[in-house]
């Protein structure tokens, strides 16, 4: 993941989830979609909302609020689906909003403080502090892992 | 060399020729005296040799050449066909197949075949020492002749001579202190290629380019220039010490070899020269071969299309199918006369288009079947059984996606029939059957399905033995066994962990095989059933869908959700009254045409969220089947029948209960496809 070029900074997509800001490296993001009709798939984990038709490709959708066991909120106008591609999987994440692309200097990334102490802790690969904003970097493999 | 563009064609054609070789060899084994067949094999082998030499696969060309020598000797009645000889020739064909596979997989087609080569040589020389002189070594007494020519090169030389070209063997020696040998070689070749064609060089061009030679090299060359002119021209290259240009003595090429090559070169007149005068063949046996051969090429104009392109075409068409669905639903909403008309017309045209695209991807099952005769031959030798394989309906066509998957299951089933089904000759005689067992491989179309049957006249399935075994392995219980039909018992051998052969042989494995066969076939949307009578034989019948990518489904609605049920598993739909539902233990059942059919409430299985409990008097039921068993799927309402494109759910969601895939509906939403097989136990 961190090769010579990214040593200096990594480009991330920033999204909001229950008033916190999270970040995913741009290289894993296929696109950001507005909320569309989700077809429920029975007998799957609770956080799997179902599948959508993403321009002809059937793509599974994971609600990150439920994945992190955060309080569930109604979907709003700002709600977005971030399409992630990891290895040979394509998955969409439902987030509260997503509207920022940032360059994070590598040296501002720190291991996550123990204080966070919630379930989402294990999904975090680090935190970055930029201009008083605290960005939580997600560990994508772990977010997707348990279903494999 | 620009060979890559020809590589694909080379591989394809090599496979065809090898296949022809094996087929004719099998034929020859049955009619060892029919020399016309040998001629056929010889021609295939010869073309293969020419092609592989051109493509630079020397090992391949070399082995083919050795095999050809033996065939030639047989053709000229110097050697008599015996099973031992055929074994060796079969082995060579196997090696050749491996080599071609290796090339197809990006390898260099090299393989250690020394033992086979030695055997071929022994056959060739052992029975008739003279033959060796004819083909392998043409040691001309002429001073300059260092090069040896294989028959392909000989043909080229002889033919060019007929067209007024001179054929020379040129020996070039470079100066001892020459520094840039490769560069000089290059210059020599440049001059040569300006005036004519280089046929062969020794060492090979690659070695020359790598400077892997001493000072001297030899080139066989055809040109219209005279020997003197060529010599002068070549001497102009600096650092060249000596150039000797000598005529190639064509008389040394055996007349016979040449004959043979003329046939190949002049394919148009192939049939006439097929059997040269010096191999007297009874006219009777030659005619059927000719007749068979001659109608194949006529009226069969085909082009080779890369499979990838067909796949792309299919994908694009699938997109269209989705949009058609969308247009149809819009048209129904708008209900505009002209729009409806256009949409209807478009649907019809697309229906035709779909048929054409699907048939384009159809491949005859022959491509799978044609490896079996050889396999049966090998198996019958290994097991000391006499087996005759009949193939019926090899021209039946199936979608390529199905063809790719069906090979292994069929291998398993045939091995099973040969190993467990057909008895050994002694046992067969004792039962009053002919010593030779028969396995029939049959393929035919019926409706939207293709059936493949493997029938043997062997021992059949021993009902009691199977039951005892199944009970001892815990596959069924004693109580269950009483209520089982013969067919159900037969099908127990498809359960995992089952092997009835008393001695486990390496032929049909350890009882994992048939269970895998069943799973594979079911995953293809197919079915397998067994009919068997003890001591008379068994029939394994496989039912397969014609295609896997576009299927017909019945769309049903549960609350607001839409599910698709494959039409292939639906028997019929019906509306039942609540009062018709009966309870058997904890299972709700209905009486459907005299049969007790269990009900499956899809809303419970799929945990469909309901705002309010509804208590309808009537229920919509889709009766589906899996083999002999039926079940009634209860839904809210039927929407209708539609052609849909199968899509996978991707790699994230795998193994979802009772869902086999998804599709995109006309309104752009995703609908899930119900896997009826999972719902019926």
Select the more confidently predicted residue: B155 or B353.
Answer: B353
Q: CATH assignment of A4-143?
A: 2.40.50.180
Select the more confidently predicted residue: B344 or B242.
Answer: B344
Q: Which of B24, B46, B95, B412 is catalytic?
A: B46
- The predicted structure's pLDDT at residue A113: 66
Q: For the domain made up of B364-545, give the CATH fold.
A: Heat Shock Protein 90 (3.30.565)
Asked about B46 being catalytic, the answer comes back as yes
Asked about B17 being catalytic, the answer comes back as no
Give the architecture-level CATH label for domain B550-679: Beta Barrel (2.40)
Average pLDDT, chain B: 78
With contacts defined as CB-CB under 8 Å, which chain A residues touch B606? 42-43
How much is the average pLDDT of B161-180?
78
Name the residue ranges covered by the structural domains of chain B.
4-138+259-295, 151-252, 307-360, 364-545, 550-679
Q: Which residues contact A120 (CB under 8 A, 6 or more apart)?
A: A68, A69, A70, A136
Q: Which residues contact A18 (CB under 8 A, 6 or more apart)?
A: A65, A70, A71, A73, A96
Question: pLDDT (tens digit, 9 = 90+) per residue, B665-678?
Answer: 877 789 999 988 78
Instruction: Return the bridge partners of A48, or none.
Output: A62
With contacts defined as CB-CB under 8 Å, which chain B residues touch A86? none
| pLDDT tops 70 at residue A109 | yes
What burial letters (b/e) apply to A10-31, b meaning 16+ CB within 10 Å? bebbbbbbeeebbbbbeebbee
Question: pLDDT (tens digit, 9 = 90+) per residue, B45-79?
Answer: 888 888 887 777 888 888 888 888 888 888 777 77
Asked about B242 being catalytic, the answer comes back as no
| pLDDT tops 60 at residue B296 | no
**Closest of B644, B87, B592 to residue B374, by C-alpha:** B87
| pLDDT tops 70 at residue B550 | yes
- The predicted structure's pLDDT at residue B565: 93
Select the more confidently predicted residue: B265 or A115.
Answer: A115
- The percent of chain B in helix, strand and coil, each rounded to the nearest 5, is 50, 25, 30
With contacts defined as CB-CB under 8 Å, which chain B residues touch A51? 649, 653, 662, 670, 672
Q: From the CA of B651, how many Å to the nearest CA of chain A?
A: 5
- The predicted structure's pLDDT at residue B510: 44
Give the architecture-level CATH label for domain B151-252: 2-Layer Sandwich (3.30)
Percentage, residues of chain A above pLDDT 70: 86
| pLDDT tops 60 at residue B262 | no
Among partner residues B322, B664, B672, which is closest to A41 by beta-carbon distance? Answer: B672
Contact B670 A58 (CB under 8 A): yes
How much is the average pLDDT of B194-219?
78
Going by pLDDT thresholds of 50, 70 and 90, the confidence category of residue B459 is: confident
Name the residue ranges covered by the structural domains of chain A.
4-143
Question: pLDDT (tens digit, 9 = 90+) per residue, B642-658?
Answer: 888 788 887 888 778 88
Q: For the domain made up of B4-138+259-295, give the CATH fold.
A: 1.20.120
- The predicted structure's pLDDT at residue B250: 66
Calpha distance B36→B285 (Å, rounded)? 8
How much is the average pLDDT of B528-544?
87
SS3 annotation, B83-138 = HHHHHHHHHHHHHHHHHHHHHHCCCCCCCCCHHHHHHHHHHHHHHCCHHHHHHCCC
Going by pLDDT thresholds of 50, 70 and 90, the confidence category of residue A51 is: very high
Contact A60 B322 (CB under 8 A): no
- Phi–psi pair at B623, nearest 5 degrees: -85, 120
ipTM: 0.84
- The predicted structure's pLDDT at residue B273: 39
| pLDDT tops 90 at residue A60 | yes
Average pLDDT, chain A: 83
Question: pLDDT (tens digit, 9 = 90+) per residue, B93-151?
Answer: 888 888 888 888 877 777 777 788 888 888 777 654 333 333 333 333 344 456 677 77
How much is the average pLDDT of B597-606?
90
- The number of C-beta contacts closer than 8 angstroms across A and B is 71
Select the more confidently predicted residue: B79 or B437.
Answer: B437
- The predicted structure's pLDDT at residue A132: 81
Question: pLDDT (tens digit, 9 = 90+) per residue, B212-234?
Answer: 777 788 888 888 778 888 888 78
Percentage, residues of chain B above pLDDT 70: 84
| pLDDT tops 50 at residue A148 | no
């Amino acid at each position: 993941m961190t090769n010579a070029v990214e040593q200096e900074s990594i480009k991330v997509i920033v999204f909001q989830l229950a008033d916190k800001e999270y970040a995913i490296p741009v290289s894993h993001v296929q696109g950001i979609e507005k909320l569309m009709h989700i077809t429920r798939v029975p007998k799957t984990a609770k956080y799997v909302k179902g599948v959508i038709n993403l321009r002809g490709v059937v793509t599974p959708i994971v609600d990150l609020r439920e994945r992190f066991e955060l309080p569930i909120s109604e979907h709003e106008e700002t709600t977005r689906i971030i399409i992630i591609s990891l290895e040979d999987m394509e998955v969409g994440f439902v987030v509260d909003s997503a509207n920022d692309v940032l360059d994070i200097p590598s040296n501002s990334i720190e291991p996550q403080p123990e204080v966070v102490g919630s379930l989402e802790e294990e999904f975090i690969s680090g935190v970055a502090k930029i201009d008083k904003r605290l960005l939580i970097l997600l560990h994508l493999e772990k977010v997707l892992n348990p279903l494999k | 060399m620009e060979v890559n563009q020809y590589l694909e064609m080379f591989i394809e054609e090599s496979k065809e020729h090898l296949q022809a070789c094996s087929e004719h060899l099998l034929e020859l084994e049955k009619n060892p005296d029919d020399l016309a067949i040998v001629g056929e094999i010889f021609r295939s082998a010869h073309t293969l040799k020419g092609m592989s030499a051109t493509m630079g696969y020397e090992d391949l060309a070399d082995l083919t050449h050795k095999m050809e020598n033996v065939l030639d000797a047989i053709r000229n009645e110097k050697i008599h066909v015996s099973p031992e000889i055929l074994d060796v020739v079969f082995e060579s064909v196997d090696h050749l197949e491996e080599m071609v596979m290796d090339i197809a997989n990006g390898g260099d087609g090299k393989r250690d075949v020394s033992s086979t080569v030695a055997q071929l040589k022994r056959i060739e020389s052992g029975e008739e020492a003279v033959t060796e002189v004819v083909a392998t070594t043409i040691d001309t007494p002429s001073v300059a002749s260092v090069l040896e020519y294989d028959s392909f090169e000989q043909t080229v030389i002889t033919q060019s001579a007929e067209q007024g070209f001179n054929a020379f063997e040129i020996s070039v020696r470079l100066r001892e202190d020459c520094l840039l040998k490769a560069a000089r070689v290059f210059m020599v070749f440049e001059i040569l290629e300006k005036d004519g064609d280089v046929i062969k060089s020794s060492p090979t061009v690659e070695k020359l380019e790598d400077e892997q030679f001493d000072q001297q090299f030899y080139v066989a060359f055809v040109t219209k220039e005279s020997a003197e002119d060529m010599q002068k021209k070549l001497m102009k290259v600096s650092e060249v010490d000596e150039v000797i240009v000598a005529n190639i003595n064509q008389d040394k090429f055996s007349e016979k070899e040449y004959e043979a090559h003329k046939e190949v070169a002049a394919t148009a007149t192939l049939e006439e020269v097929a059997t040269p005068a010096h191999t007297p063949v009874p006219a009777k046996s030659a005619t059927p071969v000719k007749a068979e051969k001659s109608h194949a090429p006529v009226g069969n104009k085909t082009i080779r299309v890369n499979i990838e392109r067909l796949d792309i075409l299919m994908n694009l068409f699938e997109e269209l199918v989705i949009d058609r669905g969308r247009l149809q639903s819009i048209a129904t909403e708008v209900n505009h006369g002209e729009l409806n008309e256009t949409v209807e017309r478009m649907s019809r045209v697309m229906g035709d288009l779909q048929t054409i695209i699907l048939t384009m991807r159809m491949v005859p099952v022959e491509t799978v079947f044609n490896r079996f005769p050889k396999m049966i031959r090998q198996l019958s030798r290994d097991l000391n059984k006499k087996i005759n394989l009949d193939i019926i309906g090899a021209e039946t066509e199936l979608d390529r996606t199905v063809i790719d998957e069906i090979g292994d299951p069929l291998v398993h089933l045939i091995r099973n029939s040969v190993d467990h089904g057909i008895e050994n000759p002694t046992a067969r005689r004792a039962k009053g059957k002919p010593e030779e067992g028969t396995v029939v491989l049959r393929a035919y179309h019926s409706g939207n399905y293709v059936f493949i049957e493997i029938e043997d006249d062997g021992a059949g399935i021993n009902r009691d033995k199977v039951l005892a075994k199944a009970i001892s392995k815990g596959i069924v219980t004693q109580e269950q066994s009483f209520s089982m039909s013969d067919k159900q018992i037969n099908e127990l051998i498809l359960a995992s962990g089952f092997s009835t052969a008393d001695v486990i042989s390496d032929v049909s494995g350890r009882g994992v095989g048939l269970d895998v066969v069943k799973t594979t076939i079911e995953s293809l949307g197919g079915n397998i059933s067994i009919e068997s009578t003890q001591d008379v034989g068994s029939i394994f019948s496989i039912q397969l869908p014609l295609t896997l990518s576009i299927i017909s489904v019945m769309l049903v609605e549960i609350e607001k959700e839409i599910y698709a049920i494959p039409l292939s598993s639906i028997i019929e739909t019906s509306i039942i009254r609540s009062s018709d539902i009966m309870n058997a233990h904890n299972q709700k059942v209905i009486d459907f045409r005299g049969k007790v059919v269990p009900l499956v409430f899809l809303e419970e299985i799929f945990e469909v969220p309901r705002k309010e409990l509804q208590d309808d008097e009537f229920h919509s039921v889709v009766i589906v089947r899996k083999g002999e068993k039926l079940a009634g799927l209860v839904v809210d309402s039927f929407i209708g029948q539609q052609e849909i494109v199968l899509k996978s759910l991707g790699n994230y969601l795998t193994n979802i209960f009772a869902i086999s895939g998804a599709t995109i509906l006309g309104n752009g939403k995703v609908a899930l496809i119900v896997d009826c097989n999972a719902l019926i136990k």
